[in-house]
Amino acid sequence: MKTGMLFDAANTRVVAQTLRSHYANASCSLPPLIVDPVCVSTSGHTLLASEAVQVLIEELCPLATLITPNKPEAELLLSWSKHAVKINTLEDMISASEKLLALGSKAVLLKGGHVELTLADVEKLASQRRDVAVVREELLLDNMEILQVNERDFSTGRLVVDVLSEAQTTTLFVSPRVDSNSTHGTGCTLSAAIASLLGKGHSLFEAIREATSFTHVGIETAFPVGHGHGPLNHLHALTQRMIPPPTASNPHPLTRILIQSAAQTWKEYVQHDFVKQLAQGTLPKECFLHFIKQDYLYLKYYARAYGLLVAKSSTYSSIQSATQTIVNVINEVSTHKAFCAQWGISEADLAATPESPSTTAYGAYLIDIGLQGDSAKLIMALAACLLGYGEVGLWLKKEAATANSWVKLEGNTYLKWIEDYSGEQYQGAVKLGIETIEALAVADPPNALRFQEWCTIWEKCTRLEKGFWDASMKLL
């Protein structure tokens, strides 16, 4: 259950009395109750009579599972409970939410729409308070450099941070601030969504996490209505989608989901010892040459798989895109030849190199997927390789730019390899690959079974990529 705008003391008191009376029997416990203390609107209007504030504090808050004040409401409630405060910083928000727990509710969610914050504020606080957890699902996570360069930079942008205080824990729910006039009823939407999710059996944390995301997308996808502050789009979730539609703060939802679905395998691949030693220039020559030789052989499979994609394509633009990738692969082969030539390995030597089991396994898997009917599955398989190397290149480039970096570029034998995969030409191909899979998700949204197939293929190809480097390090 939830309460919203109660207006005066009489309404507030009778709600509290009715709840206590109805649930007085010990065998009939009070369900989770969300109290949205609607005292002050987003636009600053008073919505609760002053004499009702004390009743809200003394009679309703102690019954609540959660109260959800915004900044002006939190300041008002605390002023009535002898804690006059001004909330202007993230530290103020946490302190205020902890003080509000004394009103008797099991938890407090202090909404952050009125407080201007940045990612630097969040990271500073998190470094100082190890007891504070941070949920940042609307922002990019680790090992998503390929998306960082293709999306808005929120590292210095404005954020909304909602603070959840419970008896033993504090959690920050962080999302990008959306510049929109479609914000009328944001607090009511959030509290109603939390109540609905609790009613479905979610934990309080999960209910708040999903409700925060629901409200964020509701603002982001709202259609402007009338003048002034219009309503959110409350219907955006009625169309059941495995992949949410692209938005300004999340223009590449499928790529994010794929990376997150195989997060551990992806990290082990991107931050593999092969990559780290290559970046430090300490990778044994025989390991690198083994990799280069096998990659030369693998690229034949990769180009042929794109040939299968050309055959499956039904538009000139998709044919052109797949064909251009084949051209890119042919150009990449020349890089391999140049690397090998430095150590006296000729093109004939490359051609005579026997395939390793990891090369055959990966190549055969691509061709097998390509011979199946669904071109989308082949696109997912091919994207894992394309995006993976792009991620590795950008990760090393980012690490190299840090102070006292462990990456050693000067005099590094493998510098050109790093520069090629972090460079403009390859990253342009990565951008095209991301746009391709995102367009596919929009044009032909998958059902649950088909989407699971995509995730399975992505994870397996990432694992096969990691196996490629395992073999080069003689770990297989």
| DSSP H or E stretch at residue 161 | strand 159-166
Q: Which two tokens stand for residue 196?
A: 């609905």
What pLDDT score was predicted for residue 221? 85
Residue type, 320: Q
φ, ψ at 248 (rounded to 5°):
-60, -40
What pLDDT score was predicted for residue 26? 60
The C-alpha atoms of residue 302 and residue 368 are separated, in whole angstroms, by 12
pLDDT band, very low/low/confident/very high, at 41 (cuts 50, 70, 90): low
Ordered by where they begin, the domains of the chain are 2-220 (3.40.1190.20), 253-472 (1.20.910.10)
The C-alpha atoms of residue 171 and residue 94 are separated, in whole angstroms, by 9
What pLDDT score was predicted for residue 306? 93
CA distances from 271 to 99, 399, 420, 466 (A): 43, 11, 18, 10
Three-state DSSP class for residue 95: helix
DSSP state of 102: G
Q: What is the per-residue pLDDT across 268-291, written as a single tens digit (0 to 9) for each?
A: 999 999 999 999 999 998 999 899
Alpha helices per DSSP H over 101-233 = 119-128, 145-148, 186-199, 204-220
The C-alpha atoms of residue 402 and residue 396 are separated, in whole angstroms, by 10
251: exposed, middle or buried (Cβ count in 10 Å: 0-12, 13-18, 19+): middle
SS3 content of the chain, % helix, strand, coil (to 5): 60, 5, 35
Distance of CA 336 to the CA centre of its chain: 35
Q: Is residue 141 scored above 80 in pLDDT?
A: no
What pLDDT score was predicted for residue 149? 75
The C-alpha atoms of residue 334 and residue 338 are separated, in whole angstroms, by 6
Buried-exposed string 455-473: b where 16+ CB fall within 10 A, e elsewhere: bebbbbbbbbbbbbbbbbb
Three-state DSSP class for residue 8: coil
Q: What is the per-residue pLDDT across 342-395, written as a single tens digit (0 to 9) for each?
A: 878 888 988 899 999 999 999 999 999 999 878 999 999 999 999 999 999 999
Q: Which two tokens stand for residue 78?
A: 């605390």
Q: What is the per-residue pLDDT across 321-346, written as a single tens digit (0 to 9) for each?
A: 889 889 888 888 887 888 788 878 88
Q: Is residue 476 scored above 60 in pLDDT?
A: no
The torsion defined by the Cα of 242, 248, 249 and 250, in degrees rounded to 10, comes to 30
pLDDT band, very low/low/confident/very high, at 48 (cuts 50, 70, 90): confident
The predicted model gives 120-136 an average pLDDT of: 90
Q: Which two tokens stand for residue 183?
A: 């914000």
The C-alpha atoms of residue 305 and residue 299 are separated, in whole angstroms, by 10
Residue type, 7: F
Three-state DSSP class for residue 386: helix
Contacts of residue 146, defined as CB under 8 A and 6 or more positions apart, other chains included, come to 255, 387, 390, 391, 394, 427, 430, 434
φ, ψ at 402 (rounded to 5°):
-80, 155
Three-state DSSP class for residue 132: strand
CA distances from 221 to 39, 88, 342, 442 (A): 27, 28, 54, 15
Buried-exposed string 387-403: b where 16+ CB fall within 10 A, e elsewhere: bbbbbbbbbbbeebeee
What pLDDT score was predicted for residue 430? 92
Q: Which two tokens stand for residue 364?
A: 């055969």
What pLDDT score was predicted for residue 1? 95
Contacts of residue 2, defined as CB under 8 A and 6 or more positions apart, other chains included, come to 33, 34, 35, 36, 191, 192, 194, 195
The C-alpha atoms of residue 246 and residue 249 are separated, in whole angstroms, by 8
Q: Beta strands of 28-106 (E only): which ranges?
A: 34-35, 66-67
The C-alpha atoms of residue 117 and residue 463 are separated, in whole angstroms, by 39
φ, ψ at 262 (rounded to 5°):
-125, 40
The C-alpha atoms of residue 404 and residue 401 are separated, in whole angstroms, by 9
Q: What percent of the chain has pLDDT over 90?
A: 59
Mean pLDDT rounded to a whole number for the chain: 90
Q: What is the per-residue pLDDT across 191-230, written as a single tens digit (0 to 9) for each?
A: 999 999 999 999 999 999 999 999 988 988 888 888 888 8
The predicted model gives 48-71 an average pLDDT of: 92
The C-alpha atoms of residue 280 and residue 275 are separated, in whole angstroms, by 9
The C-alpha atoms of residue 329 and residue 366 are separated, in whole angstroms, by 15
